[in-house]
Amino acid sequence: MPSKSSPLPITFAVFHNDEPADVTLDFADNADVISTTRWRVPNLEDDAMQTRAADAREFALLAAKRWRHYRDTDAAALTLADLQRMIATDPQGEFCFHLKVTADWFPVSLGGAMVRRTWCHHLIIDFLFVHPSICGRTVSVKGVGIKLLRGICMIARALGCKRVWGEATRDSAPFYEQQLSHPVEDLFAFEHSDTAALASSLEAERRFA
């Protein structure tokens, strides 16, 4: 049965300048989502890094655009309890939520994810992205993307979803291959055993005050 208590917010460590640094993963609200549209892309000499940074900003913009649609149709959840109520009211409804990663040592969110709950009770990762400065490596932060993925799996476990899936880009496919330990083309899928393992790994890293 799905959990009635939310696994978020959760605090854990990523690496900042190769040292552990605490961050918090939580549901985003409208102001959080819109704030990512103000991200800027740093000017980089490395073309590949410039492209990655620009893509990160583009994903954030597209996520915000899709968020607005769900927000304006009352299908955007701000908490797990919101999402559970929506599903209870309309078991085959399509709903969305947005996650954010924040830290007191970084001026804006470090990354985010736009996720949809489908009519057959799967979760789709529409967009998963980190700040352009992190993608472009103008700041040294590691681990945000994988922790976002694990957080999504925590939500899937709490809801009782059997699958988390999405579309991989050429750049992100190796990331998902590493987590799944098999080749990934344009489609990836984490089945129940995968999501449970990823959720448990993040839970084991939880920092307590």
Q: What is the pLDDT along the chain (209 residues), one digit of tens a residue?
A: 344 467 899 999 999 999 999 999 999 999 999 999 999 999 998 999 999 999 999 999 999 999 999 999 999 999 999 999 999 999 999 999 999 999 999 999 999 999 999 999 999 999 999 999 999 999 999 999 999 999 999 999 999 999 999 999 998 999 999 999 899 999 999 999 999 999 999 999 988 75
Residue 208 in any domain: the answer is no
Phi-psi region of 204 (alpha: psi -120 to 50; beta: other; left: phi over 0): alpha
Residue 154 has a pLDDT of 96
Residue 5 in any domain: the answer is no
Residue 14 has a pLDDT of 97
Range of the domain at 172: 10-203
Helix segments in the chain, DSSP class H: 30-35, 47-72, 80-89, 132-135, 144-159, 173-180, 192-203
Instruction: Pick the closest to residue 40 from 50, 48, 31, 30 (CA basis).
Output: 50
Question: Rounded distance, CA 37 to CA 14, Å?
Answer: 24
Residue 196 in any domain: the answer is yes
State how many domains the chain has: 1
Give pTM, 2 decimals.
0.94
Residue 4 in any domain: the answer is no
Dihedral sign (CA 187, 63, 68, 195)? positive
Residue 2 has a pLDDT of 44
Question: Rounded distance, CA 106 to CA 93, Å?
Answer: 36
Give me the CATH number covering residue 151.
Answer: 3.40.630.30
DSSP letters of 39-75? --PPP-S-HHHHHHHHHHHHHHHHHHHHHHHHHHTT-
Q: What angle do CA 35, 112, 109 make, to 5 degrees?
A: 50
